[in-house]
Amino acid sequence: LGIDVIVTDHHLVPSLEFLPDALALLNPKRPDSKYPFDGLCGAGVAWKLVQAILIKERATLPEGQEKWMLDLVGIATLSDMVPLVGENRMLARSGLLVMRRGRRPGIAALLKLLRISANTLTEDDVTFMVSPRINAASRMDSPSVAAELLAAATPEEGKALAQELNRINDMRKGLVAATVKEVNKRVADMD
């Protein structure tokens, strides 16, 4: 359609011959990549694109304001379970620092619902409490619920979306428990 497309990815690329036709293909795991760190998660690669755009076109965002996006990059980095070394360690740490400031009503509401103090938020809190609820949305319902939580503009909107994500996650946990019970029963019946 004549639309310029930039593809960002972080998965292994088995061969350059099967890459899509695009304006740019950003992936530190490409065999021909010269980027010094190939362990970024997908959001980390997208973050690098944002940084590059801001170097070329700063008028879209005042100097230094991009740091307030690092909470999203930090959540994604911790959720993707990439090794916390190199840039990932910095992105996770910076993301936690931004999350502790409580600037996103949706994240603040989710932390409150989970009885997690924003001031003492840890990587384990994100990995084992926040991430499963965000991920449950796309596994059990619609990813838009999680996206709306992250973009919530008011505490009231954030609270309603946090409660919905928690409900969806409870459904996921119930389904997992039922599946494990069924598998254990089938294994026991094999004897």
Q: Is 93 in contact with 79 (CB distance < 8 Å)?
A: no
**pLDDT over 70, % of the chain:** 100
pLDDT band at residue 37 under the 50/70/90 scheme: very high
pLDDT of residue 141: 82
Between the CA of residue 45 and those of 14, 28, 39, 72, what are the distances in Å?
18, 8, 9, 13
pLDDT of residue 17: 85
145 has pLDDT over 90: yes
160 has pLDDT over 90: yes
pLDDT of residue 62: 86
- Say whether 122 sits in a helix, a strand or coil: coil
33 has pLDDT over 80: yes
pLDDT of residue 90: 97
Q: Where are the alpha helices (DSSP H) in the chain?
A: 42-56, 70-79, 86-100, 105-113, 123-125, 131-140, 143-151, 155-190
Q: Which residue from 89, 109, 118, 180 is spatially nearest to 151, judged by alpha carbons?
A: 109
pLDDT of residue 113: 97
**What does pTM read for this prediction?**
0.87
Least confident of 11-15, 44-48, 107-111: 11-15
